[in-house]
Amino acid sequence: MSNKKIEQWEVERYWEIFASLANGSTHLDGAQAASVLKNSQLRDDQLERVWDLADVDSDGKLDFEEFCVAMRVIFDLVNG
């Protein structure tokens, strides 16, 4: 897994995705995030682990920072 920071261009891209899914909300629930996360082709059990890791406050939703973590972890898993 990458140990470098999330670059500004990544944050901007993740914001575009987050904003399009959140419909003005500050958080995404599992149903809102599912389509994007499943595009990774990772197994459901892997996506559940990513969600649990990214959902640092364990509220069952992802805020933007948590979403960035999830997206970066998925990117690293998919791209080795």
In terms of pTM, does the model score above 0.85? Answer: yes
Contact 63, 56 (CB under 8 A): no
pLDDT of 80 reads 83
In this model, does residue 16 exceed pLDDT 90? yes
Average pLDDT, the chain: 94
Q: Which residues contact 29 (CB under 8 A, 6 or more apart)?
A: 60, 61
pLDDT value of residue 4: 74
pLDDT in tens, 19-52: 999 999 999 999 999 999 999 999 999 999 999 9
Task: Map residue 3 onto helix, strand or coil.
Answer: coil
Round to whole Å and give the CA distance between 80 and 63.
25
